[in-house]
Amino acid sequence: MNKECLSKQELMEKLSQFTPAEKKEMRDYLQRKNPLLFRKFERMKHDLYRLESRRVQCEIENNEKELHLLNDKILLRKEDFLELLVAIRKKRG
């Protein structure tokens, strides 16, 4: 985890640039034009959902050490997801 990640607030601001309709269009575009990248995109979303559910479980159990590590992992994965969205947006034009 040497990679410096954005703060949670910065990340949310950048992700909010994408409207739900635009995300749906990108997903449909990927599904038609680039199935391998589409699978990577879906796998990243699934991984984020899994990490988020694990984070909630740690909050319930008051496991602070693992919670901190999970929050860092989630931020890094969301940043990677954001980079992928930006790359898809550039590719589409």
* Alpha-carbon gap, residue 87 to 75, rounded angstroms: 18
Helix H or strand E segment including 4: none
* Alpha-carbon gap, residue 86 to 40, rounded angstroms: 15
Q: Is pTM, for the whole model, over 0.85?
A: no
Please give the single-letter amino acid code of residue 81. F
* Alpha-carbon gap, residue 50 to 30, rounded angstroms: 23
Could you give the residue ranges of the DSSP H alpha helices within 16-63? 20-33, 35-61
Does position 1 have pLDDT exceeding 70, yes or no?
A: no
pLDDT digits (tens, 9 = 90+) for 11-60: 888 888 888 998 899 889 999 998 999 999 999 999 999 999 999 999 99
pLDDT band with cut points at 50, 70 and 90 for residue 6: low
